[in-house]
Amino acid sequence: MELEKYQKIFIQESSKYIDELDAVLLKVEKDLSDQQLWGEIHGKIHSVKGMARALSMMDLATFCHAMETWCKFFQEGTKIPNERIVQLFFDGTELLKSFVAGKGEISEPRDLESLRSLTEDLAKDPEALVDRPEPEVRPSIAPAKIDRIRVDYGLIESLLARSQEIMLLEKTLPPLTQDQISSGLGSWINHYISMLKGLYFQLAQLRLMPVQDFGDLFVKTIRDLAKSYNRDVKLEIVGGEIEVDIGLMDRLREPFMHLLRNSVAHGIEPSGEREKGGKAREGKIVLKAERRGDQLILTVSDDGRGLDREAISAYLKEKMGMSHEEMSALSNEKLLNIICRPDFSSAGETTQLAGRGIGMNVIAQAIEYLGGTMKIRSEPSKGTRFIIGLPLSLSIIYAVLFRLGKYILAIPTSNVHAIENGDPDPSHNVSQFCDLRSILRMDDETEVKGGHIIRLRQSATPQMPSSEDGGLGIAADAILGNMPLMAIPLGELLAKTGLFAGVGIMENGDISLILDLEKIQAFAV
């Protein structure tokens, strides 16, 4: 039983070091001679070796020691590393993952062969690899299951403190007379409920994962795929600070791996072809996250060659028997969506990595299963975008809270351009104004003089171009501050108002309604 306990600790700690090892190796690949980075690699491998020895996992410990020996050469500058050596360390890291998953043992024939080959290489002088052929990169097609998330230490401390308060709260109930019992007990209960709400708010944050961490899962795989296809590709993440329920993120791993693989295999051109076309040598894939209303919008875009419209036309002609006139009558959206059919494939050959004719269909089915939608946009020589909309069950957003009459309202901080004191007369401050008082049918007695104008960043719509000038405004009686909210979907009744994006729960348990910027724009005058 004790052994099982320590094995679990070993798997948790070693997995953390190995994940960090991948990240450092990606940095080393850009600066091979950075001795400090090689020192970091040495330290992490040494930590795994120490834990392996403590649990008598001697095969793993021996392999780690061999990797350490090479690390010392590059850390001390006595040997010069090259790209082949970095690839060997990447391969070694994958082998470490197999060792950890097997609790110090390796059973897969392919992994055993890899262990034999890597052990032979590590027993030699590193400079012996210089003249050897480039090894075949073995990409990890799917990232590991999301079973760990980073938690801010301050949140843990706060949870412990709040839990302790709740445990001791029963001792704070004073002796009450018959006359006091009603009011006194009521006050105590209200305090108790308020603390429970706060605890729930903080506990819910443990289920949240930043989109940045989700994107980081794919960095190593993108690197491996790029090398396999002889491409130069970088992955950029926008909106990584948005936190989303980890359950949703985990279900998106496989479909996003298909999307990113297709972007590398079919979208991004070889470096020489890109340069001839006037593009940067390095292709770019962008994972962008944004919250729009009650949806999470995830966009995967690349700056590659765009979808193969000739392949789509050939499919429509050969597989669906469509004439040229029928194809011409199809809208651009319907034409592009053909790639989501189960039997569609534009790959010329079937390999381990692509060309099985199931990729986009798998993605479409997975998104539909999650209650989401997917739109495809593509331009020849400019690239392709996959825009995925998903319902949000739980997320944390920062919002500016304000009071308008008896209502507590919120607008996402990212939508706020500026806050100004003064007369809420729209003509004095902004070019367009959303009269929330009129929309909410507030009584005249709630009107106040003075107050604030919240100037908003306008989002792009067919009716209104994107703007950063804060020309759209809403009035506020009082600004309550910028704070985190737990955002949950609207109920059916509130959804019918056409104004709100969700319900926000504050840390103290109070509730606010989150305004939807795009819907506000529709009411602007």
> Is residue 268 packed enough to be buried (19+ CB in 10 Å), middle (13-18) or exposed (0-12)?
buried
pLDDT at 287: 94
The model's pTM: 0.63
pLDDT at 462: 36
The percentage of the chain sitting over the pLDDT mark of 70, rounded to a whole number, equals 75
pLDDT at 388: 93
Q: Which two tokens stand for residue 496?
A: 């019918």
Residue appearing with tokens 């004191």: 421
Length of the chain: 525
Strands 478-488 and 511-515: unpaired
Asked if the model's pLDDT at residue 246 lies above 70, the reply is yes
459 CA to centre of own chain: 22
Confidence of residue 153 (pLDDT cuts 50, 70, 90): low
**DSSP-based three-state secondary structure for 305:** coil
pLDDT at 175: 62
How does 308-321 read in b/e, with b if 16+ C-beta sit within 10 Å?
beebbbebbeeeee
The most confident of the ranges 64-68, 153-157, 465-469 is 64-68
Q: What does the pLDDT look like over 171-203, one tens digit per residue?
A: 565 665 656 555 666 676 667 767 777 777 767
Q: How far is CA 126 from CA 47, 66, 70, 94, 108, in A?
A: 23, 12, 7, 19, 27
| Partners of 288 in beta bridges | 238, 299
Asked if the model's pLDDT at residue 145 lies above 60, the reply is no
First to last CA, the chain: 70
pLDDT at 437: 82
Asked if the model's pLDDT at residue 20 lies above 90, the reply is no
Confidence of residue 102 (pLDDT cuts 50, 70, 90): confident
201 against 439, higher pLDDT? 439
The pLDDT of 149-160, averaged and rounded, is: 62
Residue 499 DSSP label: S
Lowest mean pLDDT among 166-170, 297-301, 359-363, 467-471: 467-471
The pLDDT of 335-342, averaged and rounded, is: 83
**162 Cβ contact partners less than 8 Å away, ≥ 6 residues apart:** 195, 198, 199, 202
pLDDT at 357: 40
Angle between helices 35-54 and 83-101 (to 10 degrees): 20
Q: What does the pLDDT look like over 346-364, one tens digit per residue?
A: 554 444 444 434 468 878 8
Q: Are 359 and 365 in contact (CB under 8 A)?
A: no
